[in-house]
Structure 1
Amino acid sequence: MVESTAQGGAARQSRRAAIVDLGSNSVRMVVYEGVARNPVPIFNEKATLRLGAGLEATGLLSEEGIERALEVLSRYQAIGQAMGVKPFDVLATAAVRDARNGAEFVRAAQLRMPEARFRVLNGEEEADYSATGVLCALPDADGVVADIGGGSLELIRVRDSAYFDAGTTPLGVIRLRERSDDDVEAASKIARKTLADVAWLEDAKGKPLYLVGGAFRALARLHMARTDYPLNMVHLFRLNRQEAVEMAEWVVGASRKQMEKVGNVPRKRMIDAPFAAQVLLALLDRTEAPEVIFSAEGLREGWYMREVAARVADEEPMQALVQEMEGRLGRNPSFAEPLYMWLTSVFLERLGWKKDSFLALQFRLACMVSDVGSYDHPQYRAEQTYRRILYCHGVGFSHESRAFLALVLAGRYDIDRDSSVLEPSRRLLSKDYYEAAIQLGQAFRLVYVLSAGTETLLEGTHLTIKDEDQLVLSLHGGRLRSGGNAVSRQLNRLAESLGLEADLQ
């Protein structure tokens, strides 16, 4: 069960867990609050160290990187202590495990962080955590997870909420750049030769690629900015094969100046971007993947699900999130099921939404989160609720789902359909899905005017489509008649949006 605010703020603060992800290129500390199916980060800080720079040639961690790392880890120790985190884990990856001075560095780091538990992950463990992170967001993922770092590329086969064939390759962007002497064409040959030796990839041909890691995220951010994508959110950003190839080939051929002009990526990432693009092109050829799905959930979230939130791992992430939101921001969480049942005969049965898996799921989720704007200022309620849903932190929401649910809730609060605020939904949704969201939002508006969000006032009423051209609302008893004008007005608006005639009985 998802932890709710009914338990009070103290309950949420009673459990804070922190992970420090010590990679070849950067170090990041994330503090999570509470135990929920959707990780709730309350502190997130990254420092670029390039600890693995020069490792290919020297076999040693960078001296400059070590000095900087120890300074940053001292700061993270102070933060963890002040925030009262437990567990407090440091996970070191490819650079530290491969360097001859890796063990010496860990001993020095432990002196700076005496309250933290240090682990140097082997390649399979690193891959395991990355796969768990992807499955945290996408329990139904079926394909290949590719997690790129500075020193290595982890590859994992995922299917049926489980993972197989986890392993590591020396295709991290820093290492690949050094092995190829900064030659992107040479890097392409190295990547393709390395992937050709991963035999099990043959069995995953034709399945999607799930891309994890900062260098892959940089590719996505460049593409979003270059194409003016309406949602600057990498997590669950999707591209078909053709789009992914075009994106990667543009990065390979672009100059540093061209990438800087596009923007949306830290300059320190731009030097690695062409090498990440060559790895992606090699992966696309090796796996024949029909699409790529970017995931911001990787090693850190995998650690969270296994070490902190294992007891809620089986919950469906989207339903867990909307339940938590409605419980925290709505007036009556128990109203979701009566609302769902009251509208089922029209939307799922007569309008055929149950035949469309996307609409059927969004219908259920929308009912669960239908009242989250109830405490917002009425003048800004529609826009605020739209943005809250569109930009919420939740690991399971696809971009299309965000756009749909946000539009439903904006309609429920009577937003102007021509508002520029709705532009992301216009661009992310098909025309049919856009109209469906408008219709469901109008239906919610009718229900809340009719019932004030209470099961009691909804009892004994019925909404149905009769003779294919009439939307009939039946009110039994006299207690709702006094609100007839307001109810009639909303019924007429819903009927008009559905192309039907309204009949209030």
Structure 2
Amino acid sequence: MSFAAQTTGMIDIGSNTVRLSIYRVTEAGAYRVIDQGRWPARLSQRLTADGRLPADVVAELGEVLRHYKRICRIHGTDRIRAVATAALRQAVNRDQVLAALYEETGLRIELLPGEEEARLGSLAMLRTMNVKDGFVVDIGGGSTEITLLRDRRTIASASLPIGCVNTSARFGLGESPVAQATLEAMEKDIQGKLAALDWIADYPGLPVIGLGGTVRALGKLRQRLDEYPYASLHGYEIPADRLTSAIELLSPLTVDKRRKLPGLSKDRADVIVPGLVILQALMRICGSSRIIVSGAGLRDGLFFDTCLPELPMDGEDAVAEESIRNLRALYPGAPDSHLDQVNRLSLALYDQLAPGLELPAESRRVLSAAARLFRIGAVIDYNDCAQHTFYMLMHAHWNGMTHRETLLTAAVASYRNANALRRALAGYRSLLLAGDEELAARLGMLLQLAAALDRSESQAITSLEVSVAHHGRLLLDAAASHALPVETTEVQTLAKEFKKCWGLSPVLHLV
């Protein structure tokens, strides 16, 4: 697939927040967010009793949009795509507002129908998460979009005019604690509206994949309360009982006390409770036991839809494969030819040695990902490549793996020895399963051996036969296009450490 270099600004005029994301795509096909902005607009709260958006609010919004345009201009954007959602959909003077904003800013703002908002949110999730089935839920300030996915295809979707901001206003929530009776009345009211979507009950037990500020705020709060060691929200899983306990924690507090809670955004403190009640009502109707947080949302859906509409996403591991490709394009720490050769050799070694060991099913894909990313840290500094590789893989934005799989990939890609591995994993042990440290060491040594077999980075080995001989020797019979003195020395250097992990001493023979 060919790529066109472009820089694009995406503006989401939401009911609660107006957000900007600027995305850059290079000719090599590398893409990332290069700048962001947010403004807590509370447009749903500021509609008048007769449903109009007042002139002073429109003027304030126009100033924010001009500010976002200036940021886009600084970054040399080729285009800006601005969209508006529930608050403007619901405003009776929406046509006049859109015309006034165009006059003030020069931006033609698309008024997204609820179904299109749901489609774009689902697109963002599908491009960034390896989830096959579930309910994609985007709780905004003025609406909630729900999409049913089966085998990564949309079966049904709907947009309901219930969000955290307008629900707060409807039930008269202010700065005071929220009474139990009010919580129950809110949930009953929301469940009544959700009951009209009879297709929800037809698929009980599917997970809820949550988009939007309410779910992200819940994720940040739960990570802080539960002392979760990994800061990434994308792919973070929250059991249903943790949602209930969050409501029980927040509802008795005044808004001022909520603002002081570590992990909770101050500008969401007054609308977090109604947002979570919407989520809980939906969870109960769906019969879901867990929420999967999506860090990607409407702006990401707009980006993929606008800039990379033909990005191939077929195949079981398509999300992870595309993320690996993008990371390699963003951070070219080694030639692709070398990384691909190391990957082939790693998998050849794995396929000969792993059978019978009862390794976890994900081991092979973790090894393959690590083999193609193990030199990524060299873009910072070659001499400390392993340390930088671990940090980058734990902090760079990439998708398609669980948090545990991401940690294992980073550990395997940066593996040098057992002591260094132990230090790297020390702060993340709650993410690991029993035996994962030994697994990372085994896979890390396979990767080290594969890298040694192409140490000259010439892809000289054209085929490799692997066999176990007597006296615990691992015979590596290689057909090669030239002699392998450097590779032979590297294999000999690794032999002692390899034997500690695998109980075998590798010996390279040229055939």
Report TM bin, short chain: 0.7 to 0.9
Matched, 1:416 2:386: no
1:211-266 deviations in Å (ceiling 9; x for gaps): 00011110110001111111112111112334444444444455546644542232
Partner residue in 2 for 1:330: 333
Partner SS state of residue 34, structure 2: strand
Structure 2: runs of 5+ lacking an equivalent? none
Q: Pick from 312, 317, 320: which aligns with 2:319?
A: 317
Q: Pick from 153, 159, 164: which aligns with 2:155?
A: 164
Q: Pick from 3, 21, 33: which aligns with 2:12?
A: 21
Partner SS state of residue 311, structure 1: coil
Matched, 1:143 2:134: yes
Q: Using the alignment, how far apart are the partners of 2:48 and 2:282 within structure 1?
A: 22
Q: Using the alignment, how far apart are the partners of 2:255 and 2:225 within structure 1?
A: 14
**Length, aligned pairs only:** 493
Aligned residues of 1:26 and 1:49 also touching (Cα < 8 A)? yes
1:59-117 deviations in Å (ceiling 9; x for gaps): 22355543321110111223334434343221100001101232222111111221x33
Mean Cα displacement is larger for which, 300-309 or 144-153? 300-309
Aligned residues of 1:20 and 1:89 also touching (Cα < 8 A)? yes
Return the letter of the residue paired with 2:326: E
Q: Pick from 422, 430, 437: which aligns with 2:433?
A: 430
Normalization by structure 1: what TM-score?
A: 0.88
Partner SS state of residue 146, structure 1: strand
1:471-501 deviations in Å (ceiling 9; x for gaps): 4445789954577565323122122123x13
Partner residue in 2 for 1:8: none
Partner residue in 2 for 1:92: 84
Q: Using the alignment, how far apart are the partners of 1:189 and 1:342 within structure 2?
A: 59
Structure 1: runs of 5+ lacking an equivalent? 4-10
Distance apart, 1:280 and its partner CA: 1.6
Aligned residues of 1:37 and 1:317 also touching (Cα < 8 A)? no
Gap change, CA 1:231 and 1:2, over 3 Å in 2: farther
Q: Using the alignment, how far apart are the partners of 1:280 and 1:468 within structure 2?
A: 61
Partner SS state of residue 263, structure 2: coil
Distance apart, 1:173 and its partner CA: 0.3
Q: Using the alignment, how far apart are the partners of 1:415 and 1:255 within structure 2?
A: 48
1:122-169 deviations in Å (ceiling 9; x for gaps): 211211211111111135431111101110111111223322322111
Distance apart, 1:305 and its partner CA: 1.7
Return the letter of the residue paired with 1:393: H
Q: Pick from 379, 391, 395: which aligns with 1:387?
A: 391
Partner residue in 1 for 2:281: 282
Q: Percent identity?
A: 22
Normalization by structure 2: what TM-score?
A: 0.87
Matched, 1:364 2:368: yes
Gap change, CA 1:362 and 1:453, over 3 Å in 2: farther
Partner SS state of residue 449, structure 2: helix
Gap change, CA 1:54 and 1:449, over 3 Å in 2: same
Gap change, CA 1:30 and 1:354, over 3 Å in 2: farther
Task: Write out aligned runs for 1:118-197 (5 A).
Answer: 118-138=109-129, 140-182=131-173, 183=178, 184-185=182-183, 186-197=185-196
Partner residue in 2 for 1:43: 35
Aligned residues of 1:461 and 1:475 also touching (Cα < 8 A)? yes
Aligned residues of 2:37 and 2:68 also touching (Cα < 8 A)? no
Gap change, CA 1:403 and 1:103, over 3 Å in 2: same
Q: Using the alignment, how far apart are the partners of 2:112 and 2:134 within structure 1?
A: 23
Return the letter of the residue paired with 1:66: V
Higher helix proportion:
1
Matched, 1:67 2:37: no
Partner residue in 2 for 1:303: 302
Aligned residues of 2:473 and 2:506 also touching (Cα < 8 A)? yes
